[in-house]
């Protein structure tokens, strides 16, 4: 058995409230033991079990946090949309229409090219402290291109999501219901073996609530777990639909009203905010405080994609949540770790309690507050996944 002691941690964030009675579960002058990739003991450094430890990692008094759990990303695509970004910064507004440009390029790309791009983005995410990342299809939009997108996704993560209902592809512009039939039938058949989740972009320019209901129900009937892009571009029934169908998470939620909040508060669904999408589309940041006050569990994720949010950097997302959305530094860190894990129905990541994967980052700073306080500065010194250092 391999035993590693991580010692001399100035400030340890565990997300296990038994340490200090707060959600972040902070322990000072702490240590923990890793056995075969999982956490076997956590406590005061002075009480650490030191016998038969093969290796000691000295955190040198720095702050150590759980690995980020990024519960929303679109990494399987080819090309980029920098020209669209330039036009947007010059005053164009963001619409779902740009997705079809990436679809064209993705269909032309080989599996090897798609994998190379996804791996590069995953490596980028890992280097900024992400240790679990969900990844969607949705730029193939044919039976074969969706299936191969998911095959590629499975090579970079276990958290794969079938998003055949991202937008209606050009060739179905005049026969939208036929496309919905395709998604619910042959495309779903091809996607099921490679997917854990099913998602729909339910919004202006994408799919209606009725279509989204049909598609998600078809996926659920085939054993996929539902999640939903809801109310990014305009208010609508997306959040209510998500609650009705028992989704794990409603994502974006840039527009919502009291009824939406009430529905979420009485469900187990997580509200996942993606502030880097607001940043990159110059959208208005939603008032997430209303969700927090109503007791809705909230996650933060990157939404990494070539159109609306081309970043893998969760510290940047945390900085935006704190400065633009009034998250406290504690809420933001919890939402990007434990919140993301809840959104993916994972109890083995997003915290550093006994039995969890030893997925963590050591910061160059004495506190996690610096993640928002020192935006844009690479503060992630070391990243570990399953007890192995990956940065
Ligand atoms: O989550 N909203 C839908 N899908 C992506 C955008 C995809 C794109 O613009 O390429 C999102 O923001
Ligand atoms: Fe998205």
Query: Of 297, 293, 246, nearest to 271 (Cα)?
Result: 297
Give start and end residues of each alpha helix (H) in the chain.
Answer: 82-89, 99-108, 111-127, 143-154, 176-182, 188-191, 209-221, 238-245, 258-265, 275-281, 289-293, 314-325, 329-334, 340-343, 370-373
Judged by its nearest atom, the ligand closest to the C-alpha of residue 135 is: 2
The residue nearest atom 2 of ligand 1, judged by CA position, is 201
| Region of 221 on the Ramachandran plot (φ > 0 left; ψ -120 to 50 alpha; else beta) | alpha
Domain boundaries, the chain: 3-67+350-389, 68-343
Q: What is the pLDDT of residues 237-289, one digit of tens each?
A: 999 999 999 999 999 999 999 999 999 999 999 999 999 999 999 999 999 99
Ligand 1, residue 229: give the atom nearest the CA.
2
Ligand 1, residue 251: give the atom nearest the CA.
1
The residue nearest atom 7 of ligand 1, judged by CA position, is 307
Ligand 1, residue 94: give the atom nearest the CA.
9
How high is the pLDDT of residue 96? 86
How far is the C-alpha of 222 from the C-alpha of 224, rounded, in Å?
A: 6
Strand 3-13 and strand 26-35: the pairing is: antiparallel
pTM of the model: 0.98
Give residue 127's pLDDT band: very low, low, confident or very high (50, 70, 90).
very high
Contact assessment for residue 376 and residue 60, using Cβ atoms and an 8 Å cutoff: no
Share of the chain above pLDDT 90, in %: 98
250 Cα to the center of ligand 2, angstroms? 11
117 Cα to the center of ligand 1, angstroms? 17
257 Cα to the center of ligand 2, angstroms? 21
The residue nearest atom 9 of ligand 1, judged by CA position, is 307
Q: For residue 18, is pLDDT > 90? A: yes
How high is the pLDDT of residue 199? 98
Give residue 97's pLDDT band: very low, low, confident or very high (50, 70, 90).
confident
313 Cα to the center of ligand 2, angstroms? 15
Q: What is the pLDDT of residues 320-374, one digit of tens each?
A: 999 999 999 999 999 999 999 999 999 999 999 999 999 999 999 999 999 999 9
How high is the pLDDT of residue 2? 87
How far is the C-alpha of 222 from the C-alpha of 112, rounded, in Å?
A: 29
Judged by its nearest atom, the ligand closest to the C-alpha of residue 230 is: 1
Q: What is the pLDDT of residues 204-216, one digit of tens each?
A: 999 999 999 999 9
Q: Summarize the confidence of residues 7-22 as an average pLDDT.
A: 98
Q: Please, which residues bridge with residue 47 across strands? A: none
In the chain, the N- to C-terminal Cα span, in Å, equals 23
CA Rg, the chain, in Å? 21
CATH topology of domain 3-67+350-389: Urease, subunit C; domain 1 (2.30.40)
How high is the pLDDT of residue 313? 98
How far is the C-alpha of 31 from the C-alpha of 52, rounded, in Å?
A: 16
Determine how many CB atoms are found less than 10 A away from the CB of residue 259. Answer: 11
Contact assessment for residue 26 and residue 13, using Cβ atoms and an 8 Å cutoff: yes
The residue nearest atom 1 of ligand 1, judged by CA position, is 303
Strand 228-230 and strand 197-202: the pairing is: parallel
Q: For residue 1, is pLDDT > 80? A: no
379 Cα to the center of ligand 1, angstroms? 28
Residues with Cβ within 6 A of ligand 1? Answer: 74, 98-99, 102, 201, 229, 232, 277, 303, 305-309
How far is the C-alpha of 301 from the C-alpha of 134, rounded, in Å?
A: 10
How far is the C-alpha of 106 from the C-alpha of 141, rounded, in Å?
A: 10
How high is the pLDDT of residue 210? 98
Q: Which CATH number fits domain 68-343: 3.40.1350.10, 3.30.540.10, 3.30.420.10, 3.20.20.140?
A: 3.20.20.140
**Ligand 1 binding pocket mutation candidate from 307, 309, 311, 317 (most atoms within 8 A of CB):** 307
163 Cα to the center of ligand 2, angstroms? 10
């Amino acid at each position: 058995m391999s035993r590693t002691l991580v010692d001399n941690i100035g400030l340890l964030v565990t997300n296990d409230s038994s340490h200090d009675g707060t959600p972040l579960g902070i322990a000072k002058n702490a240590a923990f033991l890793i056995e075969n990739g999982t956490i076997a003991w956590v406590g005061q450094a002075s009480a650490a079990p030191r016998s038969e430890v093969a290796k000691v990692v000295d955190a040198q008094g720095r702050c150590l946090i759980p690995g980020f759990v990024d519960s929303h990303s679109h990494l399987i695509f080819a090309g980029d949309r920098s020209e669209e970004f330039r036009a947007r910064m010059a005053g164009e507004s963001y619409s779902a229409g740009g997705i079809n440009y990436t679809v064209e390029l993705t269909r032309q790309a080989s599996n090897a090219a798609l994998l190379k791009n996804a791996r590069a983005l995953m490596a980028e995410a890992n280097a900024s402290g992400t240790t679990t990342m969900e990844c969607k299809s949705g730029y193939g939009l044919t039976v074969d291109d969706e299936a191969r997108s998911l095959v590629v996704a499975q090579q970079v993560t276990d958290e794969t999501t079938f998003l055949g209902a991202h937008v209606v592809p050009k060739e179905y512009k005049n026969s939208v219901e036929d496309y919905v039939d395709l998604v619910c039938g042959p495309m779903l058949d091809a996607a099921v073996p490679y997917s854990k989740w099913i998602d729909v972009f339910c919004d202006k320019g994408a799919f209606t609530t009725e279509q989204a209901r049909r598609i998600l129900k078809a996926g659920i009937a085939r054993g996929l777990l539902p999640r939903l892009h809801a109310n990014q571009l305009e208010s609508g029934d997306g959040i209510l639909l998500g609650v009705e169908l028992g989704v794990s998470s409603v994502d974006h939620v840039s527009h919502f009203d009291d009824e939406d909040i009430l529905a979420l508060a009485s469900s187990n669904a997580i509200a996942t905010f993606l502030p880097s999408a607001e940043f990159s589309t110059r959208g208005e940041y939603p008032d997430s405080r209303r969700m927090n006050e109503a007791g809705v569990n909230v996650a933060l994720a990157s939404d990494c994609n070539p159109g609306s949010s081309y970043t893998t950097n969760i510290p940047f997302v945390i900085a935006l949540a704190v400065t633009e959305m009034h998250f406290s530094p504690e809420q933001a860190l919890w939402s990007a770790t434990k919140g993301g894990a809840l959104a993916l129905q994972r109890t083995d990541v997003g915290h550093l309690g006994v039995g969890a994967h030893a997925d963590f980052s050591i910061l160059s700073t004495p506190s996690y507050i610096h993640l928002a306080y020192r935006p844009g500065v690479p503060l992630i010194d070391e990243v570990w996944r399953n007890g192995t250092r990956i940065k």
